[in-house]
Structure 1
Amino acid sequence: MAKVIAVEEGLSGSIKSALEKEGYRVVKPGTAEKIDATILTGLDMNVMGMQDIQDKSTVIDASGKTPEQILRDLKARL
């Protein structure tokens, strides 16, 4: 079964394509299904100094990273 990765809207389509090419299933954050990791830009992370934990999946900050770097981080953490 493919790992499910939530990718924040606004991230490059090349990130989604790279993930799908590696066999991951890509969804939008906030879906009702169980996800294995979330990839965010980092721009909206903890702006107010507060944190709401939605699940216990891996979170990867994609800021300034290439799709290849994101894949490497993802593989190392899953």
Structure 2
Amino acid sequence: MAKKVAVEENLTGVRNLLKEQGYTVVDPGSEENVLAIVLTGLDNNTMNMQDITTKVPVIDAAGKTPEQVLSRIKELG
């Protein structure tokens, strides 16, 4: 299975690092199966998705370096 991660568009550093590490990066809200969703400010109503439930981990990238986010994603498999 391809390693896909949904990453908020403004997280350029995270998006670039994941691509360098061989991950496929898609936008949150896409209908693709992903390992995780990476967002900033989970208390914000990102893209009006507060009513959407997900079965994949959601990683809050606020205050984290791209490397820290990558490390968390690697822990997921």
Classify the TM-score, shorter chain. 0.7 to 0.9
Unaligned residue ranges in structure 1 (runs of 5+): 46-50
Q: Percent identity?
A: 51
Q: Is the 8 A contact 1:20 1:26 kept in 2?
A: yes
> What are the equivalent positions in structure 2 for 1:14-29 lying under 5 Å apart?
14-29=13-28
Matched positions, count: 73
- Higher helix fraction: Structure 1 or Structure 2? 2
Q: Is the 8 A contact 2:8 2:38 kept in 1?
A: yes
Q: TM-score, with normalisation over the residues of structure 1?
A: 0.79
* Superposed CA RMSD: 1.9
Describe the SS at the equivalent of 2:15: helix
Q: TM-score, with normalisation over the residues of structure 2?
A: 0.80
- Structure 1 outlier segments of 4+, above 2 Å: 51-55
Match of 1:5 in 2: 5
